[in-house]
Amino acid sequence: MTKIDTSGPEHVLPTPSQTVGPFYGYALPFRGGEDIAPLGHPDTVTVHGYVLDGEGDPLPDALVELWGPRPDGTVPQVDGSLRRDPATGAYLGRNGVEFTGWGRIQTDPNGHWYARTLRPGARGRGAPYLSVCVFARGLLMHLFTRIYLPGDAAALAGDPLLARVGDRRDTLMATDEGSGTYRFDIRLQGEGETVFLEFQ
């Protein structure tokens, strides 16, 4: 039955995940999805990389979603990432001023993606990070991970997740390429496999 009976928790069971499939490309990506930072903001950083399979081949049909807090650590709760044109229904673009914190990027034919966003601020006990969700053809359920940016060595050393994952820590750390640009590859399988997360 797909009318959920909410009279008891034993009836409220999750809807299973399915692959995003190969043909989301005309539906989910939107122009400017990668431009999360307000135009010309001085704290803008570029984060980029490849999504790679178990043979090291890049995925041309993956989708990456990013969430990040503001530089002061607060999480934006404003809409407007996907602003629409009321006349045509077409994507109108972000308004260029507000920071919604959210972006969606399709890998290009070379399996590469990039986003321009604001450097996130710390929240709670951990080091600051960008939250990531990865979808792709062949992935029956999305994958969560995090991007930590190098810089504050003390905060990174004290981060509970980075401490837990031991020698796999580097898979969660972006590499500083200078000029506010950071490289972060997502390896779905095999040597150097990215640490993926599940939330409970």
Footprint of another protein on 55-114 (CB under 8 A): 55, 57, 59, 65, 67-69, 75-86, 89, 100-102
Instruction: Report the residue number, 169 or 183, with the smaller CB distance to another protein.
Output: 169
Residues of span 26-45 touching another protein by CB under 8 A: 26-28
Binding mask 116-155 for another protein (x = CB under 8 A): ----x--xxxx--xxx-x-xxxxxxxxxx-----------
Alpha-carbon torsion, ordered 164, 167, 168, 173, to 10 deg: 90
**What would the two tokens of residue 168 be?**
């796999």
C-alpha 25/C-alpha 46 separation (Å) is 23
Give the chain's largest Cα–Cα span: 56
Applying CB under 8 A, among 41, 93, 155, 161 the residue interacting with another protein is 161
Contact call for residue 162 and another protein (CB under 8 A) = no
Instruction: Report the residue number, 39 or 177, with the smaller CB distance to another protein.
Output: 39
Size, binding site for another protein by CB under 8 A: 84
Instruction: Report the residue number, 100 or 114, with the smaller CB distance to another protein.
Output: 100
172 contacts 126 by C-beta, under 8 angstroms? no
Binding mask 171-190 for another protein (x = CB under 8 A): -----------------xxx
**What would the two tokens of residue 160 be?**
């509970």
Which H or E run contains 45?
strand 44-52
In the complex, the smallest distance separating the C-beta of residue 119 from another protein, rounded to whole angstroms, is 14
C-alpha 10/C-alpha 89 separation (Å) is 41
78 contacts 69 by C-beta, under 8 angstroms? no
Instruction: Report the residue number, 114 or 129, with the smaller CB distance to another protein.
Output: 129
